Amino acid sequence: MGRIELEVVDPSPAVELQALDELWFQVAGTVCNLRCRHCFISCSPENHSFWFLSREDVQVALEESVPLGVKEYYFTGGEPFLNREMEGILADTLTLGPATVLTNATLIPGRRAAKLAALAAASPYTLELRVSLDGITREMNDAIRGEGTFDRCLEGVERLVGQGFLPIITCMRSWPEDDTERYLEGFRTLLGRVGYDRARIKIIPPLLMGEEADRTRAYHETERVTHEMLHGFDLSQLLCTRARLVTARGVYACPILLESPSARLGDSVGTAAARPARLGEAACYTCYMSGAICSNTLSGAGADR
Amino acid sequence: MSGFPQDTVVSRRSGAKGLVGGPGTGVSSLEYPAVLSDVTRLAVFGGVYSNHLALEAAIEDARAKGADAFLCLGDLGAFGPTPDRTAEILQDEGVPVVRGNYDDSISRGLEDCQCGYTDPRDNHYAHLSYIYTLTNTSNRHREWMGTFPDRIRFRLGGLDVLAFHGSPRRMNEFLWETTTPTHFLRGMADQHSADVLLGTHTGIHWARQLDERRWYLNAGALGRPANDGKTNVWYLLLDVRAEQLHHTFVPVSYDVGALVGEMRREGLPEEFVETIRTGWWTTCLEVLPGKERARGRW
């Protein structure tokens, strides 16, 4: 009998970076002071699979980002304010461009809120604080984010608002889509009680991975991006066509796919920017369906030009 | 970036009030390289948003200040009343227009204005504004909007100027003062071999010097105030003096009461009227970065 040689070909489509508009930093690795039940990369105090980035690590990537024309810088984790150098990292970043920190706001005492306000005031660029809050009641939020987090988060929000920030309150949708208006009103009322009377609220669809896959359901096998789905599709809707993520273990295609080896695209920003991103993961399906949910706004992306 | 036509180039036609490239001229008769050698003062209008009273006031003001050419950076419609009136004024004056996202949507009859709102409230008002404008724009003007170029390039005061609506790469890209790094703008200037990048789309005017010679200038908007609690709107004057290009943002006052009356007669939302009356934005707030949003009231 003759031998049949089989070549393994990844059937998932790949997309090139169009422009490096966003540079993300996994600045606290997978280390978090909370253990949220929906965390898509299962961050916790014990999850050290990705460690902190140092201020020097960030500085190297920032320098690399300038000739690449990066427009916005994002900091995520884990919880970024567990990184002891976070304020210095923001000071460095804000000399170059706008910065957004994704935080649970439980580590923002008054002194830190004041320091962040001083950093923002010293920069021509915007410093955004994106605060995760997953419910309009203590019971709803704490069931997902852990006991006591509702109150601690709102205290952090109140301190930020007191310093002149308009934090973007981010909530993963855990209700039927048709109920969103009602929940938005609930958030406005809740935030008004802590003095935030013109709340900016961002509702994101659930990512059915990590802890969330156990909490609700995982992606179905049919929920994948195919070559056919990309015909006529505006690729700028996909974060990996305009962003890369710097971690302590290399540069990745996007902040969601930290646990996917194929999403690691290189050791440096430049190397990772030159390599296409493969849309082989189930989470790519959510990005395809919902647009780049990780960015603050669509920022003009999505034009059929 | 792919998908864009070649830069459109315009020059001043002898005796014309505006730059060549106005109504019906298309781009075929234009010269390259275009040097606006006889233009000493160019008035640049950002989004008009159907505020025809502000547009008339700006044209009159610019003329009084010695402007000898006009340019509009797009978004003729939205927000204000009777959109055909704005188109008629620009056509009568022969003002060339760069295509804005609103012009693009209206000319093609798209579903929305392409601003990319996700907030339900912003979407609600954006939809009202868009449907009103689409319904009240004549087919003749819609066809005209379909002829606007994505970019206009010209030479003025010894500098290469590239005019666009949002950014050179994307007509609906917001370039806000506090979220647009200088290195990003330098890269765009390099990529397009431009000394002056001239845009609008955000509705708030601002300027940044990129290096000794190069600038990014955002003309702001004629259509609604700059979210600063004042009712005036803004345009931009580019001035050639001693072979150098200078820029000035010019505040324009107009008959706010008359516009408010027209908006109410047309049944436009009271939220839009409030912005015109108070100078504070009440809608389309989602896209504002934190710093710009904090400067406003809502």
C-alpha to C-alpha distance for A160 and A166, rounded to whole angstroms: 8
B179–A125 C-beta distance less than 8 A: yes
DSSP line for B51-108: -HHHHHHHHHHHHHTT--EEEE-S---SSSS-HHHHHHHHHHHT--BPPPHHHHHHHH
Confidence category of residue A300, pLDDT binned at 50, 70, 90: very low
pLDDT of residue A36: 92
* Positive/negative CA dihedral, B142, B144, B149, B152: negative
C-alpha to C-alpha distance for A38 and A218, rounded to whole angstroms: 12
Minimal Cα distance from A94: which residue of B?
Answer: B181
B166 touching A, CB under 8 A?
A: yes
Look at residue A145 and tell me whether its pLDDT is greater than 90. Answer: yes
Nearest CA to B199 among B171, B233, B238, B228? B171
A72–B179 C-beta distance less than 8 A: yes
A126–B291 C-beta distance less than 8 A: yes
- To probe the interface with B, which of A289, A297, A304 has the most B CB atoms within 10 Å? A297
Q: Which residue has the higher pLDDT, B115 or A179?
A: A179
B293–A297 C-beta distance less than 8 A: no
The complex scores an ipTM of 0.91
pLDDT of residue B12: 39
Min distance A37 CA to chain B CA atoms (Å): 26
B70-118 pLDDT tens trace: 999 999 999 999 999 999 999 999 999 999 999 999 999 998 888 877 7
DSSP line for A231-291: TT--GGGSGGGTEEEEETTEEES-SS-TT-GGGEEESSHHHHHHSPEE--STHHHHHHHH-
B235-270 pLDDT tens trace: 999 998 877 889 999 999 999 999 999 999 999 999
Q: Which residue has the higher pLDDT, B84 or A237?
A: B84
- The two structure tokens encoding residue B256: 């706010």
* A–B CB contacts, 8 A cutoff, strictly below: 98
Give the least confident one: B14-18, B32-36, B168-172, B235-239.
Answer: B14-18
H helices of chain A, where? 55-65, 86-93, 110-121, 138-145, 149-162, 180-192, 211-215, 269-274, 283-290
Q: Which residues contact A182 (CB under 8 A, 6 or more apart)?
A: none
Cα separations in angstroms, A72 against A62, A207, A257: 11, 23, 20
C-alpha to C-alpha distance for A43 and A255, rounded to whole angstroms: 13
pLDDT of residue A6: 62
Burial A122-150, CB ≥16 within 10 A → b, else e = ebebbbbbbbbbbbbeeebbbbbbbeebb
- Over the Cα atoms of chain A, what is R_g? 19
Min distance A195 CA to chain B CA atoms (Å): 14
Look at residue B15 and tell me whether its pLDDT is greater than 90. Answer: no
Q: Which of B118, B172, B294 sits opposite A166 (nearest CB)?
A: B294
B262-287 pLDDT tens trace: 999 999 999 999 999 999 999 989 99
Task: State CA B82 to chain mean position distance.
Answer: 18
Minimal Cα distance from B187: which residue of A?
Answer: A69
Per the CB < 8 A criterion, the answer to whether B23 and B106 are in contact is no
B219-229 pLDDT tens trace: 999 999 999 99
Min distance A251 CA to chain B CA atoms (Å): 21
Per the CB < 8 A criterion, the answer to whether A8 and A142 are in contact is no
